[in-house]
Amino acid sequence: MSDYLMTLIEKLQAKSAHIGIIGLGYVGIPLALRFSEVGFHVLGFDIDDQRVDTLNSGKSPIEHISSNDIRRITEHGFEATADFSRIGEVDAIIICVPTPLSKHREPDLSFITGTMDAISPYLRKQQVVSLESTTWPGTTEEVLKPYLTDRGFEVGRDIYLVYSPEREDPGNPDFTTRTIPKVVGGSSVECLKVGELLYAHAVDRVVPVTSTQASELVKLLENIHRAVNIGLVNEMKTIADRMSIDIYEVIDAAATKPFGFTPYYPGPGLGGHCIPIDPFYLTWKAREYGLNTHFIELAGDTNRNMPRWVVGKVADALNDHQKSLNGARVLALGIAYKKDVDDVRESPSIMVMELLREKGVLVEYSDPHAPTFPKMREHSFDLSSVDLTPETLSAYDCVVLLTDHSAFDYDLILEHAPLIIDTRGKYRGINTKVVKA
């Protein structure tokens, strides 16, 4: 065992190691909270100066994380910075940056490579680098490792490299950073040992795997499993609709089987930073091996087509009420990708709004978690959230329930909206002025 390894292990065991977290978003901030809670000194890095200032002032930029939590860790030494030259101050570097798709639906690793470009000049011996961003199997070895070896480091001897996929579920009160098991793969046996020690303080259970590639594939399998099953139930929804069968009744009855079935529920499509994107990382990498991922791509096509199916249901419902889609006033209920969060990334609600707007609809939205429509690279609406009152609801030709936030007054909506397009099954068993979508 090298002196570098022994010293780093001693620091991790004694909690005297300094933790650096790059990317202070939905993954990075919970990690910063957790490592601070267990006694580590944490330095956070982000390229967004405004976010850095917000955190340093003791305020949370994310709705489901309280400012009290941020103030508590800042009082115990947490600091955010946009100065990547300070990377030499930390012993562990955890990278939690986005991995989107390009416009051609190919992996975009520019945030990862940009991070490595920024920190490489300041890396030193006796550090561990852990990537948590979702990516294709081989990224840690093929993309990150050369940054270290090109600097003259010997991975596994004087610097350590691991991959540990994030498993955050924002807004889910049943699971926390501490209680969600943490998968870790190392670039070597020594790297895995360091990775296990790093995360063992922060989580209840560490799950080691034999390689970084296996760890990368674990994350993809988890999200592909969900994407495929959601695609299946969305397709079943369209079949049940044509047969005049209530898909929710079918799912609930099937879920009584105590083995071999897990219930998934349909919706207007897929959203968030993982499930709509991650399967295509494996699809892209599989081509390198001469393989086609037909099954995964078919599920993706089904899920991407759901917003169009919803718009078709809106058009049919308005037509049944002697109204045209062109010129109609429609209120979208919820623009977040899932209930009770403020995250709108890849939200199918926004795709529904865009498709309606393209067809001449005057579309507005109501979302208690998004008071103003956020700035986005690919979508632009100059809108603010509409307050739900009897007067506002009755002024629209129809409302489309896209995100089933707990804060919505569903009785008020049912009483005063002239027509409801329900994509979430909130109005099960109600047929008057409710159209299932």
pLDDT in tens, 242-272: 999 999 999 999 999 999 999 999 999 988 7
| Residues in a beta bridge with 332 | 365, 400
Bridge-based pairing state of the strands 159-163 and 182-186: antiparallel
Hey, where are the domains in the chain?
A: 3-211, 227-233+240-437
338-347: per-residue pLDDT in tens?
999 998 988 9
- Grade residue 402 by pLDDT with cuts at 50, 70 and 90: very high
- As a whole-number percent, the residues of the chain with pLDDT over 90 amount to 84
Structure tokens at 11: 């620091």
DSSP 3-state assignment of 292?
Answer: coil
- Grade residue 80 by pLDDT with cuts at 50, 70 and 90: very high
Give the type of residue at 372.
T
Query: Do the two domains 3-211 and 227-233+240-437 of this chain adopt the same fold?
Result: yes
C-alpha triplet 351, 352, 355: angle, nearest 5°: 85
Q: How confident is the model at residue 106, as a pLDDT? A: 85
Q: How confident is the model at residue 275, as a pLDDT? A: 76
* Catalytic positions: 274
CATH superfamily membership of 227-233+240-437: NAD(P)-binding Rossmann-like Domain (3.40.50.720)
372, 405 Cβ separation under 8 angstroms: no
Q: Which CATH architecture has domain 3-211?
A: 3-Layer(aba) Sandwich (3.40)
- Grade residue 178 by pLDDT with cuts at 50, 70 and 90: very high
Q: How confident is the model at residue 417, as a pLDDT? A: 97
- Grade residue 163 by pLDDT with cuts at 50, 70 and 90: very high
pTM for the model: 0.91
133-155: per-residue pLDDT in tens?
999 999 999 999 999 999 999 99
Cα–Cα distance, 428 to 314 (Å, whole number):
18
What is the residue-averaged pLDDT of the chain? 94
| Residues in a beta bridge with 420 | 399, 434
356-397: per-residue pLDDT in tens?
999 999 999 999 999 999 887 777 798 999 999 999 999 999
**Sequence-ordered list of residues with C-beta below 8 angstroms from that of 172, at least 6 positions apart, any chain:** none
- Grade residue 424 by pLDDT with cuts at 50, 70 and 90: very high
Highest mean pLDDT: which range of 11-15, 90-94, 172-176: 90-94
Q: How confident is the model at residue 171, as a pLDDT? A: 74
Q: How confident is the model at residue 18, as a pLDDT? A: 97
- Grade residue 434 by pLDDT with cuts at 50, 70 and 90: very high
DSSP 3-state assignment of 109?
Answer: coil
Closest CA to 156 of 111, 125, 121, 202: 125
Q: How confident is the model at residue 103, as a pLDDT? A: 77
Structure tokens at 153: 């480091």
Lay out the sheet containing 420-422: strands in order across.
362-366, 329-333, 398-401, 420-422, 434-436
Q: How confident is the model at residue 390, as a pLDDT? A: 97
Query: What average pLDDT does the segment 98-105 reach?
Result: 84
- Grade residue 217 by pLDDT with cuts at 50, 70 and 90: very high
Q: How confident is the model at residue 27, as a pLDDT? A: 94
Closest CA to 333 of 437, 420, 246: 420
Q: What are phi and psi of 191, to 5 degrees?
A: -65, -40
Q: How confident is the model at residue 174, as a pLDDT? A: 84
